[in-house]
């Protein structure tokens, strides 16, 4: 059977992306998977530590249990997203046991986020988790730069952030980081931001963002590995499409589908109605935003580079 690593490599080679769909609420898993299947697409279903602590997805085991009820391996795989070394509240995280649990449960790929550490610290913790993942023959994603948005308090004006390049991934650092960690995919900051997860802002639509395409092209050349765009909700579609030939092979989406679920559930009081809204919005994303409907055969096959994680 082809692997998650194969899928992301194939997406990069074919000039398409793998959407990665976050699940802050367990009932979202079924409609997300059904939408991917009905659109004949391939996507990752993913869960991040903050979604267990600040929302209701409970943890890696609960997500795996619900995912396994509906899993269609030819269309979806499960990814452990954003386990930080230091979390959005500035607290140290005992991250290694989380990765051991997820790997034992059968997650197909994992992500360590050491981006709140200095470069040396990020390299060190990423190398630890890369080694652990590779022993299990699965790929490891890492992050370099600051994809802002999850921290408490308001962000500076977006145009100010973009113009200053605050938090953007440094090209020379990225080259060194990939060489010294051996990570398989790299999440980069080039103008993308995460959706808010606390306060009144979490219920509001994300601001529309754009990407520094020149920086992205430089990062593609410097790293030579698939790049990942976090904070995919709200990125102008023309920038997303331009990002794909510049190395973006995986795009995370959280706010776009979370707000649909929460808003519909609040308005209707019915879980099945909220699930239906998630299904419809996910079909729109796959078909009209990512343009991956019907393109599963480009991704879901063994890569020529057999044996690599």
Q: Which residues contact residue 43 at a Cβ distance below 8 angstroms, ignoring those fewer than 6 apart?
A: 18, 19, 20, 21, 32, 36, 75, 76, 286, 292
* d(C-alpha 208, C-alpha 206), whole Å: 6
Q: How far is CA 100 from CA 28, 96, 130, 206, in A?
A: 25, 6, 12, 34
**What tokens does 84 get?**
């930080």
Question: Residue 227 — φ and ψ, nearest 5°?
Answer: -105, 155
Active site residue 40: no
Rg (CA), the chain: 18
3-state secondary structure of 20: strand
* d(C-alpha 134, C-alpha 123), whole Å: 16
Instruction: Please name the residue that has the structure tokens 């590995």.
Output: 225
3-state secondary structure of 223: helix
3-state secondary structure of 260: helix
End-to-end CA distance of the chain: 13
Q: State the catalytic residue, choosing from 6, 38, 81, 131.
A: 81
* Residues with catalytic function: 81
């Amino acid at each position: 059977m082809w692997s998650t690593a194969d899928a992301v490599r194939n997406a990069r080679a074919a000039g398409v992306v793998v959407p990665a769909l976050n699940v802050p609420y367990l009932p979202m898993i079924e409609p997300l998977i059904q939408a991917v299947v009905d659109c004949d697409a391939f996507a990752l279903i993913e869960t991040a530590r903050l979604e267990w602590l600040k929302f209701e997805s409970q943890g890696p085991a609960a997500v795996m249990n619900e995912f396994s009820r509906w899993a269609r391996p030819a269309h979806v795989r499960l990814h452990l997203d954003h386990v930080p070394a230091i979390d959005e509240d500035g607290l140290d995280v005992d991250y290694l046991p989380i990765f051991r649990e997820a790997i034992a449960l059968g997650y197909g790929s994992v992500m360590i986020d050491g981006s709140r550490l200095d470069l040396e610290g990020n390299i060190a913790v990423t190398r630890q988790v890369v080694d652990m993942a590779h022993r299990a023959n699965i790929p490891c994603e890492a992050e370099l730069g600051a994809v802002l948005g999850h921290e408490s308090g308001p962000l500076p004006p977006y145009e100010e952030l973009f113009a200053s390049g605050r938090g953007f991934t440094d090209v020379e650092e990225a080259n060194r980081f990939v060489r010294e960690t051996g990570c398989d995919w790299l999440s980069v900051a080039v103008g993308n931001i995460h959706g808010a997860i606390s306060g009144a802002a979490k219920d509001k639509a994300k601001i529309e963002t754009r990407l520094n395409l020149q920086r992205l092209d430089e990062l593609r050349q410097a790293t030579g590995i698939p790049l990942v765009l976090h904070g995919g909700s709200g990125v102008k579609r023309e920038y997303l499409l331009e990002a794909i030939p510049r190395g973006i092979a995986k795009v995370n989406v959280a706010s776009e589908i979370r707000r649909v679920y929460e808003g519909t559930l609040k308005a209707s009081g019915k879980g099945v109605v909220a699930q239906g809204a998630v299904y419809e919005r996910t079909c729109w994303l796959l078909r009209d935003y990512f343009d991956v409907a019907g393109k599963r055969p480009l991704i879901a096959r063994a890569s020529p580079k057999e044996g690599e994680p």
